[in-house]
Amino acid sequence: MKPSNLKYPKSHRGGRLNPGIKYDSIKYGDVALVANQPAIIKASHLSSIGLTIKRAIKKEGNLYFRTFPHTPVTKKPLEVRMGKGKGSVNHYISKLQKGSIILEIKTLNITKALSALNVVKSKLPLSSTIIKR
């Protein structure tokens, strides 16, 4: 997952993550995964949890991501001296606030969706909870 085009391909890191609570409500699905703390998620994390949920629910439901990794992170190669400009883009991240919804699942078989979300919770680098509509 990465954005198709950006106005500026490299960006600044930005300030701290906002620790304030962002209360979202479920819009598209029946079950959702909510972040309990402000955190940064890589695009690789989002794609891996998408694959695990798709394997679990198969064609019985739909998956809706509510976050997208828009922010590029740059890194210079190993053993390169200081200076000579900013490094190339290494990966993309998504910044989450406390209480923001990561993804939603719309399905008739809610037990499969809940079991898939329990597996996904262990793959994420933050604490999260599962909510129902």
What backbone phi and psi angles, to 5 degrees, belong to 86?
-80, 150
- Segment 78-96 shows an average pLDDT of 92
CA pair distance 128, 122, nearest whole angstrom = 9
Query: What residues contact 98, with CB distance under 8 A and at least 6 apart?
Result: 19, 20, 21, 22, 35, 36, 37, 38
Confidence of residue 120 (pLDDT cuts 50, 70, 90): very high
- Cβ atoms of 40 and 111 within 8 Å: the answer is no
**pLDDT tens figures, 21-61:** 676 788 899 999 999 998 999 999 999 999 999 999 888 89
pTM given for the model: 0.85
CA pair distance 73, 71, nearest whole angstrom = 7
Kindly list the domain boundaries of the chain, sorted by start residue: 39-78+87-132
CA pair distance 28, 105, nearest whole angstrom = 8
Does domain 39-78+87-132 fall under CATH 3.40.50.150? My reply is no
